[in-house]
Amino acid sequence: MNIQKINEKEIFICESHNEVIQFWARYKSSKPNILSFDHHTDTRRAFQSEWISKKLDSNQDLINKLKDGDFELVKNLKHDEHIDAAIRCEFVDKVLILSYDSSKSRIEDLINVDDRENYKDNTRIIVNCHSSQPEMSIESDILSEKIKRFELCLKPIEWNTNYILDIDLDFFYQKKSIEVSDKSFFSNLIKNAKAISIARERGWINQWKKEFDSELTVDFLEEKLIKLIEQST
């Protein structure tokens, strides 16, 4: 695993988002929460394609093997199946997702903050999704309001004292999404996180480069993010 330490905080950087599960598993003894910044919700059932193609009655055997440390199975997880796998393997507790794309999920213990009336204490995944393609960025006033909406379901103390900050670079559509004037709120999220996972997802960044910002690159976003981590820890 590509793990580096910045001021004693572990940072894991990978190409595909499904790879983060092995890093999260390093912290399973403390059952951390996950705060995930992503274009997608990444909330499909784990090993869904394996389950269907091999005509298995369930995917529980694969989950059990992954839970026991068979991380070769990670390559069989699609990019959007790692959250379900991490929860069912008991590597993490709750997952809070700030996203754009609310792709339909077969996971039962998931709720959007807009459906807060149906929230239950055992709900494991809470999504704050903005599918209307707003200008999403880490500008403090914008970001703080979006993170605060999780309070409609969950008190801050229930997640923000023990969390891994997870960032898919496809969260950033344009250079200006990360080049903001006030980064203080995001810096505090970095500072208080017990660890950070970063997925490059190069294919999506190349897509955003075509659609939104011709100067956007993975290297640019990664460099900016690492610099922010260095300044915040």
Helix residue spans in the chain (DSSP H): 20-25, 48-53, 60-67, 82-88, 140-148, 184-192, 202-211, 218-232
Per-residue pLDDT tens for 65-122?
999 999 999 988 876 899 999 999 999 999 999 988 765 555 667 888 888 888 888 8
Asked if residue 49 is part of any domain, the answer here is: no
- Does some domain include residue 75? no
Q: What is the DSSP letter of 233?
A: -
Q: Which of 181, 174, 185, 187 is nearest to 225 (CA)?
A: 187
Specify the pLDDT at position 13. Answer: 97
The answer to whether residue 1 scores a pLDDT higher than 90 is: no
Per residue in 146-183, pLDDT tens? Answer: 999 999 999 999 999 999 999 999 999 999 999 999 99
Q: DSSP string spanning 55-80?
A: T-S-SHHHHHHHHTT-GGGGGGS-TT
Give domain status of residue 187, yes or no: yes
- Say if 124 falls within a structural domain: yes
Say how many domains are in the chain.
1
**In a domain? residue 202:** yes
Residue 135: per-residue pLDDT? 65
- The owner of tokens 């092995």 is 22
Whether 83 is covered by a domain: the verdict is: no
Domain presence at residue 65 = no
Confidence of residue 215 (pLDDT cuts 50, 70, 90): very high
Domain encompassing residue 132: 3-44+91-232
Instruction: List, in sequence order, every residue forming a beta bridge with 4; answer none if it has no partner.
Output: 11
Q: 79-92 burial, b if ≥16 CB within 10 A, otherwise e?
A: bbbbbbbbbbbebb
Give a yes or no: residue 122 inside a domain: yes
Residue 225 DSSP SS3: helix
CATH number at residue 177: 3.40.50
- DSSP for 171-188 reads G--SGGGTS-S--HHHHH
Give tens-digit pLDDT for 6-61.
999 999 999 999 999 999 999 999 999 999 999 888 888 888 766 655 555 567 88
